[in-house]
Structure 1
Amino acid sequence: MRRNPKDFEATHRRLSRRAVVLGGAQLAMVGALAFRMRHMQIEQADQFRLLAEENRINVRLIPPKRGEIYDRFGRVIAQNSPSYRIIIVREDAGDVDQVIGRVGRLITLDPKETERALAEMRRSPPFLPVTLADQVSWEDISRIAVNAPALPGITPEVGLTRFYPRGGDFAHVVGYVGPVSDYDLSQLQDPEPVLRIPRFQIGKVGVEAREEQLLRGQAGAKRVEVNAAGRVMRELSRREGEPGADLQLTIDANLQGYVQARLGNESAAAVVMDCRTGDLRAIVSSPTYDPNLFVRGISVGDYRALTEHDHRPLANKTVQGIYPPGSTYKMMTALAALEEGIIGPEDTVWCPGHLEVAGRRFHCWKRGGHGHVNLQNSLKQSCDVYYYDLAIKVGIDRISAMARRFGIGLRHDLPMSAIAEGLAPTRDWKFATYGQKWLIGDTANSSIGQGYVLASPLQLALMTARIASGRAVVPRLVRSVNGVERSGDPGEDMGLDPRNLHHIRQAMFAVSNDRRGTAYGSRIIEDHHRMASKTGTSQVRNITAAERAAGIINNADLPWNRRDHALFVNYAPFDNPRYAVSVVVEHGGGGSAVAAPIARDITLQALYEGTPPLSAYPAKDRAEVQARQERLYRERPDIRTDGRNRA
């Protein structure tokens, strides 16, 4: 059937419109694509070029060199030492077990380290290097290098690791470093990328931890070319990082070593402080441990031996340990009374051997009593009744306020770990802590450094330094950073009546230099080095009425952990104070018998900047002192110095 020409024209018009629409749509799409291609190729070219470059070039961090730590005379305390290790790359090694077997025939491999390396290889990409052996000797590295053609995938490398040449002498002060752990990262809100470098070391305790930001430095970076699988092909450029800052401490390493040796195996602590500047010349906790054990990860056996030791070698007793200060606290009670005008230096108290307080009998250490005693005799003979009576008149709040002025009950800002605050108790403190009222018996106990009163060896040394100088000296541990000295704080005048301080100093002088003084047996007889001091003995158990009636059990007959703590504080020379010393011997017994001889030896070692002459000791002690010195120097020849050659 022949179509009508009009129908044909209509159909042609419809097809033409569709073609135009379709062509227009195609043209629009091509135009959009062209515009997008122009936008991407021209306007966004730099962005895509950067993305392409990042696919080809990686930026990798270079660990910074950690700052080193020195003593006040420039002796190295913490240093960076070369550490040789052997690296294996799984994809280059081929048969890993066979290659490791060849390495094992050349050097000794730790089976546990080998297992660890194999486990790490199984969970890592085949092209990533894994440490097979760490801290190997130069001889082992040489054997591996010579046999390199037969050891595919094996590479010897050298890096830096921390080393503490003084061993345990500074373990509680400087601390140690160790690899970054998941726990370390969890404690940081935004960890720096450098902390994710495998086996990167950071400070864990002590100065290493507290001054981490200074010691760590800034990481460098290198640009390396990698292929599509991420394997490094070559290094394109390198930017070295900034090394960490070097720190110089106020401590004299030789004196520190001597104090450590002198404390021996005692569970004890000793602090030597410069009375004029607050510089810590020695701060020692005993027993100690070797911090080098922790640098690469301590073994389970070694760690258990430290944690299960009854003398707690991991604890820093100088700042972390807090003890009832015993009779060393009596100067605080006396100063509070003198400043309030409640008692004069010649006023006396009758001591019959006890004092009745609120229906309870508080005993003096001397069962028969001391009779009439004034301020000087009360300190010289350490009469307890005098201070019971004094404290009841003064009140606990005034005594504690005085103690805080001298540094007790405060946390001092030093770059050390777990610094304890101690306690100078008040009425409000007891109610807030226990919900109980303060009792008059609490005041009597506190007056002689028992009851709730707690102080660290650092605080006792600071208290003594402030008594000696009359100034609020501030303890200082870091002397300089990168050779720039940190300003010390000699402290302002204590604002006390100079006459009252004079009376306390004279009484402390009598403790060591009067025949009836409790520390007369441990005196210094060189006139220009004589010391002022105070003995202390703090109870760790209650003595019952039945035991008093039957006779108090001697410390030597008690288990070690039931014996009294022995304490001693002193400063010297008396007429020109240079050093303040505190010694605490846990469960040592009496302060005059145990702590005082140790403190005297330490004081003389500090004053003479080395071995003191035997003429500084009483004649009766010289043979014993000489034998002890010879024994210490045989065991620790590195601590022997005559003061003219401190290095």
Structure 2
Amino acid sequence: MKIKRREFLSIGCLGLLYTVLNYRLISLAMFSGSEFKQVTIDSTTRIFPLPAPRGKIFDRKGLPMAYDSSAHAVMFMAKDEKNAIELADSIAPILNKDSIKIYNAAKQSIGNPYPYILHEKLDIKQYLSLSELTFRQKGFRLIEIPMRNYPLKNVGCHVVGYVGEASEEDLKKFSYLHPNQIVGKTGVELIKDKELRGKDGADITIVDAYGNIQKRFEGTKPIPGENVKINIDSDLQEFAQKLLDEKPGAVVALDPRSGEILTLASSPDFDPNEMVYGMSQKEWNELLKRDHPFINRALSAFPPGSTFKIAVSVAALEEGVTTPEELFYCPGYLKVGDHTFYCWLPGGHGHLHIEKAIAQSCDVVFYTLGLRLGPEKIRYYANKFGIDLPSGLKLPGEEIGFLPTKEWKEKEFNDVWYDGDTVNMSIGQGFVRTTPLDVARMMSIFVNKGSFSGCKLISGSDSSYEGLKFSDKTFEIVKEGLRKAVLEGTAQILNSDKYTAIAKTGTAEDPPRKKPHSWIVAAAPSDSPEIVVCVFFEHIGEGASFAGPVAKSYLDYYFSNPSLRER
């Protein structure tokens, strides 16, 4: 059979290619074999990570609250333990760090295809000293890495959070993490870490025992992370944190129409930059002296005191255990069995209807309403107002409010439920616990007549809430009581010619603490609220005396700046 011309040429080309490849392999074996053997003995593959820049975190107006910038850092590639000790002895004095810390960092790179990065920013002096050291000391390199910056420092620190090197716990929790990577530790940095972190790149190289590059292969480029926008207004947030003045407390502000969180401030606070760049043991000890600055008190649960009466008022009117016309009498106390429960006002409030009872925060009236309702009804309505329900923010450290039951008390204390427990529950005392965000949400649900779109921290996020429907009549009666609290009652400090507000104060005993917690929650303008603010101070005194002035300053500032009201 004859071979066609095209087939003959194809066979010829394949034969020629085969001959060339064989010649190349023979020449490599004859003339370069010893070189390749030496590379195999003295060299190893190193994967040099190229950390991806994290996405930025913006406030509602586009102001950056967290971003990455380029920084110089140390990368270890220790040959053995002796080399790690040498590195610790030579580098620790330059970085002003404990030599054990540097040794442990260098040690982690021994026999590891991934070098170990010391995620600490070098200043100019350190960089120059280490640059000179690279000529004399093997086993480390200076590299550029993205490093987190928080330009507003302490502003929004509990919300934004901070980043740090992945711990053993982080590695177990997040399957996408590798040792020595940076991860969000708290706040939005944590809950949106996967989106913010992007995808790291890598350079794949052949290096000698001390990390000197002999051959470089084409690697992968890092892919920056996604940006995240939150609903916090950094201007309002900063103002709120200044008002708290480092006293243990919180300020929460919502737009009740959308559920967007404008302020979520907790005090004392901290500068997240210090967590990223590191601090000395002395600086750390000083920070911890400031009454637990890492606790987010806006999401911590405390007895709500009389702010809880908003839910009890609605419950009493909706369940028909009282009417707007009923006239109560407060002599300053109420006897329940063998116990006497006192009103906050010595001598009592005299005769009053429910509107005035709300305005004056009369305990005796609410003791009476609570006993008529019973703990189950109080719990039902309080739950519908969001108490003891998650906020949906998913921020670490958030506590859930608590509403006790008869069964819970019997199991927890091996004791029955008494009428006295109901009396305490009716004024937000006893076992009841709420967070400042809970109380702000309760007021938001009220001004929306039982419906609410949910608390929203991340811009564009969606959350659902099963609303509580109550009558327009109930709404108007309770609203009038809250308005009278501002005009002639316990919240008169919020009476302003700049805006109209409705409000409820609270003073909550919390044994064994000697001083009570101070609360106030307000909504304004009263006819069509666009902002709800809750102020809380821990074990400081009465609600009107401490939380009240802060709420007034916050609302004054808000309504005096038109740009803050833009949505």
Residue identity opposite 1:576 in structure 2: S
Alignment CA distance shift 1:328-1:95 (3 Å): closer
Quick one: distance in 1 between partners of 2:339 and 2:104? Answer: 69
Q: 1:169 is paired with a residue of what secondary structure? A: coil
Q: CA deviation at 1:412?
A: 1.7
Equivalence for 1:180? 166
Equivalence for 2:521? 569
Find out whether 1:586 has 2:567 as its counterpart. no
Equivalence for 1:503? 477
Query: In the alignment, which of 492, 495, 510 is matched to residue 540 of structure 1?
Result: 510
Equivalence for 2:296? 316
Alignment CA distance shift 1:56-1:119 (3 Å): closer
Equivalence for 2:17? none
Quick one: distance in 1 between partners of 2:479 and 2:503? Answer: 9
Equivalence for 2:10? none
Measured against aligned partners, the alpha-carbon deviations of 1:158-197 in whole angstroms (never above 9, x if no partner) come to 1111121111122211211111122332445xx33x522x
Please say if residues 254 and 261 of structure 2, whose CA atoms lie closer than 8 Å, have aligned partners that are also in contact.
Answer: yes
Please say if residues 103 and 151 of structure 1, whose CA atoms lie closer than 8 Å, have aligned partners that are also in contact.
Answer: no
Alignment CA distance shift 1:143-1:433 (3 Å): closer
Query: In the alignment, which of 254, 259, 263 is matched to residue 278 of structure 1?
Result: 259
Q: CA deviation at 1:455?
A: 0.6
RMSD of aligned residue pairs (Cα, Å): 3.3
Equivalence for 1:211? 192
Q: 1:474 is paired with a residue of what secondary structure? A: coil
Find out whether 1:259 has 2:233 as its counterpart. no
Q: CA deviation at 1:85?
A: 2.3
For 1:21-60, list aligned pairs within 5 A: none
Find out whether 1:68 has 2:56 as its counterpart. yes
Query: In the alignment, which of 265, 285, 288 is matched to residue 269 of structure 2?
Result: 288
Please say if residues 77 and 210 of structure 2, whose CA atoms lie closer than 8 Å, have aligned partners that are also in contact.
Answer: no
Measured against aligned partners, the alpha-carbon deviations of 1:344-382 in whole angstroms (never above 9, x if no partner) come to 112111111111111211111111111111111101111
Equivalence for 2:468? 494
Residue identity opposite 1:235 in structure 2: R
Measured against aligned partners, the alpha-carbon deviations of 1:209-268 in whole angstroms (never above 9, x if no partner) come to 222222222233443345799874222112224322211000000100000001102111
Residue identity opposite 1:486 in structure 2: S
Find out whether 1:246 has 2:227 as its counterpart. yes
Q: CA deviation at 1:540?
A: 2.4
Q: 1:584 is paired with a residue of what secondary structure? A: strand
Quick one: distance in 1 between partners of 2:302 and 2:133? Answer: 61
Please say if residues 75 and 116 of structure 2, whose CA atoms lie closer than 8 Å, have aligned partners that are also in contact.
Answer: yes
Equivalence for 1:518? 490
Alignment CA distance shift 1:391-1:644 (3 Å): closer
Q: CA deviation at 1:393?
A: 0.9
Find out whether 1:601 has 2:553 as its counterpart. yes
Q: CA deviation at 1:69?
A: 0.7
Please say if residues 309 and 426 of structure 2, whose CA atoms lie closer than 8 Å, have aligned partners that are also in contact.
Answer: yes
Residue identity opposite 1:302 in structure 2: E
Quick one: distance in 2 between partners of 1:306 and 1:125? Answer: 35
Equivalence for 1:421? 400
Alignment CA distance shift 1:58-1:389 (3 Å): same
Alignment CA distance shift 1:136-1:374 (3 Å): same
Please say if residues 259 and 452 of structure 2, whose CA atoms lie closer than 8 Å, have aligned partners that are also in contact.
Answer: no
Please say if residues 109 and 133 of structure 1, whose CA atoms lie closer than 8 Å, have aligned partners that are also in contact.
Answer: no
Query: In the alignment, which of 326, 329, 333 is matched to residue 305 of structure 2?
Result: 326
For 1:61-460, list aligned pairs within 5 A: 61-87=49-75, 109-114=94-99, 116-118=101-103, 120-121=105-106, 124-125=109-110, 134-138=120-124, 141=127, 155-187=141-173, 191-192=175-176, 194-196=177-179, 198=180, 200-225=181-206, 232-309=213-290, 311-319=291-299, 321-460=300-439
Q: Which deviates the most, 457-466 or 119-128?
A: 119-128
Equivalence for 1:557? none
Residue identity opposite 2:399 in structure 1: A
Please say if residues 424 and 453 of structure 1, whose CA atoms lie closer than 8 Å, have aligned partners that are also in contact.
Answer: yes
Residue identity opposite 2:424 in structure 1: N
Q: What TM-score does the superposition give when structure 1 sets the normalisation length?
A: 0.74
Please say if residues 265 and 286 of structure 1, whose CA atoms lie closer than 8 Å, have aligned partners that are also in contact.
Answer: yes
Q: 2:214 is paired with a residue of what secondary structure? A: strand
Q: 1:233 is paired with a residue of what secondary structure? A: strand
Q: What TM-score does the superposition give when structure 2 sets the normalisation length?
A: 0.84
- For the pair shown, which has the larger CA radius of gyration, 1 or 2? 1
Please say if residues 52 and 146 of structure 2, whose CA atoms lie closer than 8 Å, have aligned partners that are also in contact.
Answer: no
Please say if residues 491 and 503 of structure 2, whose CA atoms lie closer than 8 Å, have aligned partners that are also in contact.
Answer: yes
Quick one: distance in 1 between partners of 2:566 and 2:128? Answer: 39
Please say if residues 117 and 130 of structure 1, whose CA atoms lie closer than 8 Å, have aligned partners that are also in contact.
Answer: no
Please say if residues 168 and 289 of structure 1, whose CA atoms lie closer than 8 Å, have aligned partners that are also in contact.
Answer: yes
Q: CA deviation at 1:120?
A: 4.7
Alignment CA distance shift 1:353-1:394 (3 Å): same
Quick one: distance in 1 between partners of 2:431 and 2:560? Answer: 38
Unaligned segments of structure 2, at least 5 residues: 1-38
Measured against aligned partners, the alpha-carbon deviations of 1:403-428 in whole angstroms (never above 9, x if no partner) come to 11111111221031111111122223
